Amino acid sequence: MKAETFLEDDYRPAEDEPFMNDRQLEYFRRKLLTWKEEILEDSRDTIEGMKDSTRNIPDIADRASEETDRALELRTRDRQRKLVAKIDAALRRIDEGEYGYCEVTGEPISLKRLDARPIATMSLEAQERHERRERVHRDD
């Protein structure tokens, strides 16, 4: 079992420290776990809300509106379910020592990018190339 890394509440990863040192890894681990817990809590709230709001609405327009809202909420939850899987994958990469490195080039992903999108698997340059190729193939 690895010793717990001390992290100040106001800690932010900095470019002048070794890349993906124990403090940075702990910072991103906590950030990912907090994000995951928020998503799961929202999902629980949605489920409870849907259970409570199941009712028969006589007005067709009101019923259609509620069904549209419900479908939108379910689509949002589905996206968040996929996001939880990406968060879990990022946590595995932390445990395996692969977190913070581009899966395409092997180069470090910038700390700013990881702070903004902690589930990132590609550097900004690799992501842009990927999106350009995707756009070209989609136009075919």
Q: State residue 105's pLDDT score.
A: 95
Q: How many CB atoms lie within 10 A of CB 123?
A: 20
Specify the pLDDT at position 135.
86
Residue 20 corresponds to which tokens in the numbers above?
């993906």
pLDDT at 72: 87
pLDDT of residue 139: 60
Mean pLDDT by 10 residues, the chain (140 residues): 73 95 96 96 78 69 80 86 96 97 96 97 95 79
DSSP tally for the chain: helices H, then strands E: 4, 0
Domains present along the chain, CATH in parentheses: 18-99 (1.20.120.910), 102-139 (no CATH)
Q: In whole angstroms, what is the distance from residue 74 CA to residue 50 CA?
A: 10
